[in-house]
Amino acid sequence: DQQVKQNSPSLSVQEGRISILNCDYTNSMFDYFLWYKKYPAEGPTFLISISSIKDKNEDGRFTVFLNKSAKHLSLHIVPSQPGDSAVYFCAAKGTQGGSEKLVFGKGTKLTVNP
Amino acid sequence: DSGVTQTPKHLITATGQRVTLRCSPRSGDLSVYWYQQSLDQGLQFLIQYYNGEERAKGNILERFSAQQFPDLHSELNLSSLELGDSALYFCASSVGGTGPYNEQFFGPGTRLTVL
């Protein structure tokens, strides 16, 4: 049961253009959402997050949008740079049965072409 | 560099064997988390320890166990290994145990190959 879904395994964009990575979740218990970036041979690193009380959070070139009614979030990277090429994981956090859970999607591999 | 260290980087072993993966959290972090990333899966949460005690459990098999020691380092023990246990195992640490703003910092991972 995949509670956090990233339906696009890969995405390729041109340098300078916008990259849009999508994520869907199924469980209403999630109230905090995060994006992690992972380079090969390294662990994931935190990129940006958003609380369920907001619908947008911006940090430099990165913006995360949350649509609670659709249970959908997206990460926008503008403008995209070759150094952004990595695997991006969407993660959702919530509390169930008194226990906090952080559930990751399978990741989307972003390639930014020069 | 996240400040989280994991050893070994690579581990090759045979089915039926037992291995121990080690994690040292960032200085000051009390929580340690273990994750498994298989070839076609996202990061699967296994278990969390906070200040020496088990805090949360995820999809951890009974063949697997973990502990956190008084110096806060953690070990993940995998026994009766099967081919399907081949994966990247990540450790992460955070300052606190719960809360939405409790950011996790990941180590570089241990790649386990079971032959």
How far is residue A90 from each of residues A101, B25, B69, measured CA to CA in Å? 14, 23, 31
In A, minimum Cα distance to B54 occurs at A99
Q: Check CB contact under 8 Å for B92 and A46.
A: no
B108–A46 CB contact, under 8 Å: no
Min CA distance, B25 vs chain A (Å)?
A: 13
Q: With bands split at pLDDT 50, 70 and 90, how would you rate the model's confidence at A29?
A: confident
Q: Residues of chain B whose C-beta is under 8 A from some C-beta in A?
A: 2, 4, 33, 35, 40-45, 55-58, 90, 92, 97-101, 103-109
B82-95 pLDDT, tens digit per residue, is 999 999 999 999 98
Average pLDDT rounded to a whole number, residues B59-74: 95
- Average pLDDT of chain A is 92
pLDDT attached to residue A41: 81
Which A residues in the span 25-84 are in contact with B, Cβ-Cβ below 8 Å?
Answer: 31-32, 36, 41-46, 49, 51
What is the predicted pLDDT for the residue at B59?
80
The whole-number pLDDT of residue A12 equals 97
Q: Phi/psi of residue B4, each to 5°?
A: -100, 130
From the list B114, B64, B54, B66, the residue with the least C-alpha distance to B91 is B66
Cα end-to-end distance, chain B, whole Å: 31
Distance CA B12, CA B16 (A): 12
Model confidence at B3: pLDDT above 80: yes
**Contact flag A104-B45 (C-beta cutoff 8 Å):** yes
Task: Give the pair of three-digit tokens for residue A57.
Answer: 């959070």
- For A46-71, the pLDDT digits (tens) are 899 999 999 999 999 999 999 999 99
pLDDT digits (tens, 9 = 90+) for B36-64: 998 777 788 899 999 999 988 888 999 99
**Phi-psi category of B109—alpha, beta or left, where left has phi over 0 and alpha has psi -120 to 50?**
left
Least confident residue range of A42-46, B63-67, B110-114: A42-46
Closest Cβ–Cβ partner in A32, A49, A89 for B43: A89
Position B2 pLDDT exceeds 60:
yes
What is the average per-residue pLDDT within B5-32? 96
The whole-angstrom distance between A112's CA and the closest CA on chain B is 22
d(CA B84, CA B74) in angstroms, rounded, equals 23
Q: How confident is the model at residue B16 (pLDDT cuts 50, 70, 90)?
A: very high
Compute the mean pLDDT over every residue in chain B, rounded to the nearest whole number: 91
